[in-house]
């Protein structure tokens, strides 16, 4: 059995992305959303346990840069997050039916390949990583032959537990758990160390006087 993963990353249309950061970021919001997705995908592609990254999006402004990084881009049918993930997972199975498949949130700008590798090396048939608040989920994955049933959105940690997924409660994977929805989340990610795409946009925000939020 292969231990090389296919990871599916869903990327919203930019007009709907990071709306809770709109007041702080203004015209930089959409660029930050692309940058964060690019850093997430770059880290995943650099992880030794990952064979391929499949991005599911309907937005060409996100699809272009992510494709240039080496991600496989699949069109989002626009029927919700979990449908997007299942669409990407189905494509992953067509490409590599014997590889495990995982879903990774697109807003992990501090993601470290070594910490993601620790998650993927764990022993589970169906598993997930809770977000930093222990309410949501940042990663969900299954081994070959196990139904791929993501339950993202809202209080997804409880739903993944109820669905029989193993919680991967590991120390030292802060970058896998730190998704970014609010200015406080972004500040926490900065503390962990941003990827180069997000760091560049944050630098622009600082020069424009929009960061840190006052």
Chain segment 50-74, per-residue pLDDT in tens = 999 999 999 999 999 999 999 999 9
Q: What's the DSSP call for residue 181?
A: S
User: What would the 3-class secondary structure string for 24-49 be?
Assistant: HHHHHHHHHHHHHHHHHHHHHHHCCC
CATH of 5-147+154-206, one of 3.40.50.280, 3.30.70.20, 3.90.550.10, 3.40.50.300: 3.90.550.10
Say whether 202 sits in a helix, a strand or coil.
helix
Label residue 19 by pLDDT band (50, 70, 90).
confident
Q: Looking at the predicted structure, is the pLDDT value of residue 174 above 50?
A: yes
Q: 14-28, 31-45, 150-164: which range is least confident on average?
A: 14-28
| CA–CA dist 94, 88 (Å, integer) | 10
Q: 9-13, 21-25, 102-106: which range is least confident on average?
A: 21-25
Q: 16-20, 73-77, 82-86, 177-181: which range is least confident on average?
A: 16-20
Structural contact between residues 109 and 198, judged by C-beta atoms closer than 8 angstroms? yes
User: Tokens 């209080």, residue?
Assistant: 155
Please state the residue numbers annotated as binding site for phosphoenolpyruvate. Answer: 137, 153, 156
For Cα atoms 194, 197, 203, give the angle at the middle one, nearest 5 degrees.
75
Q: What is the mean pLDDT of the chain?
A: 95
Please state the residue numbers annotated as binding site. Answer: 137, 153, 156
pLDDT at 2: 59
Of the candidates 124, 186, 122, the one whose C-alpha atom is nearest the C-alpha of residue 160 is 124
pLDDT at 103: 98
Q: Looking at the predicted structure, is the pLDDT value of residue 1 above 60?
A: no
| Backbone φ and ψ of 79, nearest 5° | -125, 35
Q: Looking at the predicted structure, is the pLDDT value of residue 27 above 90?
A: no
131's CB contacts (< 8 A; 6+ apart) are: 105, 137, 138, 157, 177, 178, 179
| Backbone φ and ψ of 191, nearest 5° | -65, -30
Label residue 193 exposed, middle or buried (CB < 10 Å: 0-12, 13-18, 19+): exposed
CA 124 to centroid of chain Cα atoms: 20
Q: Evaluate the CA torsion angle 180, 21, 15, 60 in order and state its sign.
A: negative
Q: 14-23, 60-69, 107-116, 204-213: which range is least confident on average?
A: 14-23
pLDDT at 154: 94
Which has the higher per-residue pLDDT, 13 or 105?
105
SS3 of the chain: helix, strand, coil, percent, to 5: 45, 15, 40
């Amino acid at each position: 059995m292969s231990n090389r993963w296919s990871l599916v990353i869903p990327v919203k249309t930019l007009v709907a992305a990071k709306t809770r950061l709109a007041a702080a970021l203004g015209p930089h919001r959409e660029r930050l959303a692309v940058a964060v997705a690019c850093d997430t995908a770059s880290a995943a592609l650099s992880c030794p346990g990952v064979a391929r990254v499949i991005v599911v999006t309907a937005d060409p402004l996100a699809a272009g840069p992510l494709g240039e990084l080496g991600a496989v881009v699949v069109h989002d049918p626009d029927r919700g997050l979990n449908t997007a993930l299942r669409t990407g997972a189905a494509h992953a199975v067509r490409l590599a039916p014997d590889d495990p498949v995982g879903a990774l949130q697109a807003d992990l700008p501090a993601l470290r390949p070594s910490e993601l590798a620790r998650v993927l090396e764990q022993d589970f048939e169906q598993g997930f990583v809770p977000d930093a608040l222990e309410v949501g989920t940042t990663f969900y994955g299954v081994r070959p032959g196990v139904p791929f049933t993501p339950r993202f959105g809202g209080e997804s940690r409880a739903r993944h537990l109820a669905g029989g997924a193993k919680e991967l409660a590991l120390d030292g994977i802060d970058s896998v758990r730190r998704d970014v929805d609010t200015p406080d989340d972004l500040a926490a990610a900065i503390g962990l160390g941003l990827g180069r795409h997000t760091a560049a946009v944050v630098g622009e925000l600082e020069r424009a006087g929009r960061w840190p939020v006052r």
